[in-house]
Structure 1
Amino acid sequence: MAHTTTSIDIAATPEKVWQLIGGFDSLPDWLPYIPSSTLSDGGRIRHLANPAGDVIVEQLETYDNTSRSYSYSILQAPFPATDYLSTLQVEPLAGGAGARVTWSGRFTPVGASEQEVTDLFHGIYVTGLEALQQSLAK
């Protein structure tokens, strides 16, 4: 099983960051790669579309509003991976100087090398967190 993780420090309170990203349906609010999201199954399943029109279906696995984190799995996606589990977490920076957002994932590559799939997800996480930072800087 492969994994990747990345973090970014943001000059906003953890509460403000979580308010933007903490909803399981909030990806279109900050992630340009995902222009639409629709919830089903009582809010536990999200149906996403990317700009190419590919469908991505994800399931909420854990949600902790107090620790500002949630984990989700992929049920359907055009990615060369299975057994995908990812976590988004927001933590306060020391001294109250902002928030650190960490996006991590583990997965089993299928039909591609471990490095290729790791690079794919790492790239999504990095560009996603950079977009989040830009959204909060406005």
Structure 2
Amino acid sequence: MSAYASTVINASADEVWEYLRDFGNLAEWLPGITGCEIEDGGDSRPGAVRRLEGPGGTFRERLLTLDDASRSATYGILESPLPVRDHRAFYRVAPVTDSGRAFVEWSATFEADDVAKMEEFVVGQVFAPGLASLHRRF
């Protein structure tokens, strides 16, 4: 299954991407994340692994791709207290050409025993608060 959320932020795509491309800064802007540490591979290079402290325990995620040209990245969960499997997430920042603002989209695919419940959780408890936090930041 998949989860998706998007928003328009009152800053340029380049400015928002410069902030979001940092794989190690999630605790600065995602509500509920109390710690984020790069364990292996450097901050923003594919292969980097971050350890997150958040609701329910510890998460470990690997950066799979980082593309400055398309202002996009993908990552996957390695370990999580959430009942998900085969998790892959994607985020992208694109310019809104008529306003100079940034369009941000965030999506994930995953398997879960209760897909509808996990989809609702990811969108409502991760994506929506994260995008709202980015609005406040910019």
What TM-score does the superposition give when structure 2 sets the normalisation length?
Answer: 0.90
Match for 2:115: what amino acid? E
74-83 or 31-40, which moves further after superposition?
31-40
- Matches of residues 9-20 of structure 1 in structure 2 within 5 Å? 9-20=8-19
Shift of residue 96, structure 1, vs aligned partner: 4.0
Moved over 3 A (4+): none
Aligned length: 132
Deviation digits for residues 75-108 of structure 1 (CA, Å, limit 9, x no counterpart): 0111111000001110001224300110000000
Measured against aligned partners, the alpha-carbon deviations of 1:23-74 in whole angstroms (never above 9, x if no partner) come to 111112211221211112212100010155x100000111101211110000
Q: Distance in 2 between matches of 1:51 and 1:121?
A: 13
Query: RMSD of aligned C-alpha atoms?
Result: 1.2
What are the within-5 Å matches in structure 2 for residues 1-138 of structure 1?
2-43=1-42, 44-51=48-55, 54-110=57-113, 113-123=114-124, 124-136=126-138
Structure 2 Cα separation of the partners of residues 87 and 126 of structure 1: 15
Displacement of 1:119 after TM fit? 0.4
- Opposite residue 84 of structure 1, the aligned amino acid is H
8 Å Cα contact 1:84-1:105 kept in structure 2: yes
The structure with more helix, counted as a fraction of residues: 1
Segments of structure 1 that go 5 or more residues without pairing to the other structure are: none
